[in-house]
Amino acid sequence: MSETDKPAAPLPSLEEIQRDWNDLTLRVQQSETECNCLEQENKALRSLLERVVEHRKKSHGELVNLITTLATKMPINDVGVIVSRLMEHSTAVNDVSAALINGKNEENLLQPAILKALDKTRRELTAAIKPLVEELIRLDSPLDPAMLQALVTQPQSFFAPATVRASRSFVKGQVARELIIKDFSEEALVFFKDVTTDAKFNPNPKPEEIVLGFKSDFEALLQQNPAVVPAKHPDLLALHKKIQLSRTSRAQKSAFLKLSFVLELLNYYENQSTESPDVIFAQRLPPLVEQLVVTSDTDPLDEKLIKQAEELLAYIINADYRQAVVNNFGKGGGTARTLRFVLTFRSSIIAEHDPVTAEFVKHLIGGQKNPRQEVIAPVLRLVNADAQKIIVRALLNSDRLRREESEVLVKALIKELGLPELPVTKTEAGNSPDKMQMSAWDIIKELIASRSTPAEITEAIRRQLHAKYDDSEVKQSWLILTESDPMLLVRVFCLLPYLPGGETDPVARAVLESYVNRLTHEKYAEIYAKVIHALRNLFKVKADSPALLNFIALVKWVDPAAAELITKDIGMPP
């Protein structure tokens, strides 16, 4: 018999079964009760886990939202990359959290406002492509309809080499050599000139890169060569007419410029981590908008075209990026420069003493000895009434015009534009500018001596700097602050950049940079020692003081090296 073979256990007797039955029933009941308890505990634990994970998702979403809002206030070149990385991290955290519960993520997660605006803008840009493509096809442009239709479903194809060459040819009134050979054979090349091959700069271009232009005497050549592709003469004439029309058609040019703007901006929003905003908003987009509005340097600005430009600029979410596009108009002067100022005044409220207003007035006057209201009034009609008042007042006070000339011009503009009468604010005789400036700084000294609030002193200094902004005025403001308490200098320094409405003072950065350069210069070593001593005591008493932190942040804004030096001398951690 093998070792594994064992005799069967004897069956229990009836008496044994009856004796142990109650005990067995009790154990089964106890097991069922314990099983039910464990099931309830598991449900409670799962519910608790779901609540914890859900709370974690919401709290993390709120944190990402706050950080994203703060990130939008950083330099514009860094915003896109930082926000995209934050959202990638947020998505990963939400995916892991969802996987712990039910294996899928919710669609209605908390989303920062900037990303909601970005999604909305992407949808609007994508929807704007199809009508522009259809308009170009309807206008019978030389661009290939199949290539245009592909842009509706594949916007990225706009940046393919073939499409780029076709777009460049459309703008310059040219046509690809390979298309001429395909449609008309090589014999037809006699009617064209090669505008790509250059013996010095491009002696051996690739065949697909060669573009041609119709010769200036094309129609005469066509009549002189009746034997050259005679069956294609009508098609050649039609192509010539189509290209000539595309160079003069304002409708085709406008549709193409709008389509290019939409596709360029959409490509940036889809690839913010790799596309440079400096290239997009300072180089690519400004010429598109400028060419859309400015027909020629001799033609006046058309408000309908300006509104079309504003509709395109509205797709740019970030206000700094939008203003960057506007600021790159008209670098060569002329009507495009006028457009820059008009769009600036239409989009925001500019103060009379703002450098932009002074620059606009200088541009309006130009080289005219006696500027006429017939030239200036049409430009001012493009901005609202409040901006007109500010510009007219700036013209009245401009040092580029004599008092008599400015008053005559302003009265004519007021009548032409239907504005209310403005008081004459030219410097009255008997009060020299030097005396008036001295009295203004004396008033500021009295405010400091009477212990006025830092906000009142800052507003008085800002008003004076706006009235006359130059190096001497900035130096005078610095000297007055150095004669006061060091902490007053710190508080005025912190308040100076912010206007009452919440905007940033346009001259603040230059003023603060001048203050920091003087503060860290060896000439003002005594002032520097006083300021550092006051800040060091403030750091010891309250390390998170808003005045201290704001001061260091603003110094870092204008001069990171100086901020590092000051932080080290105070004893703050880097």
Q: Which pLDDT belongs to residue 72? A: 60
CA separation, residue 513 to residues 42, 359, 416, 516, 560 (Å): 64, 22, 43, 5, 11
Report the SS3 class of residue 213: strand
Q: Cα–Cα distance between 242 and 167 in angstroms, integer? A: 15
Q: Which pLDDT belongs to residue 434? A: 42
φ/ψ of residue 130, rounded to 5:
-60, -50
Reading the block at residue 143, the tokens are 């661009």
In this predicted model, what pLDDT tens digit does every residue of 353-377 receive, in sequence order?
A: 677 888 888 888 876 667 777 888 8
- The pTM for the full model equals 0.60
Q: Which pLDDT belongs to residue 73? A: 60
Q: Which pLDDT belongs to residue 252? A: 92
Q: Cα–Cα distance between 399 and 228 in angstroms, integer? A: 69
Q: Cα–Cα distance between 359 and 187 in angstroms, integer? A: 58
Q: Cα–Cα distance between 247 and 245 in angstroms, integer? A: 5
Task: Tell me whether strands 211-214 and 192-194 are parallel, antiparallel or unpaired.
Answer: antiparallel
Q: Cα–Cα distance between 566 and 555 in angstroms, integer? A: 9
Burial of residue 201 (CB within 10 Å: 0-12, 13-18, 19+) is exposed
Tell me, what amino acid is at 548? L
In this predicted model, what pLDDT tens digit does every residue of 403-416 receive, in sequence order?
A: 788 888 888 888 88
> End-to-end alpha-carbon separation of the chain, Å?
87
Q: Which pLDDT belongs to residue 158? A: 93
Q: Which pLDDT belongs to residue 463? A: 81
Residue written as tokens 């706009």? 158
Q: Cα–Cα distance between 277 and 424 in angstroms, integer? A: 45
Going 453 to 457 to 462 to 467, the CA torsion angle's sign is positive
Q: Cα–Cα distance between 249 and 257 in angstroms, integer? A: 12
* Regions of the chain where pLDDT drops below 50: 1, 107-110, 424-438
Contact 442, 428 (CB under 8 A): no
Sheet holding 192-194, edge to edge: 175-176, 211-214, 192-194
Report the SS3 class of residue 8: coil
Total number of residues shown for the chain: 574
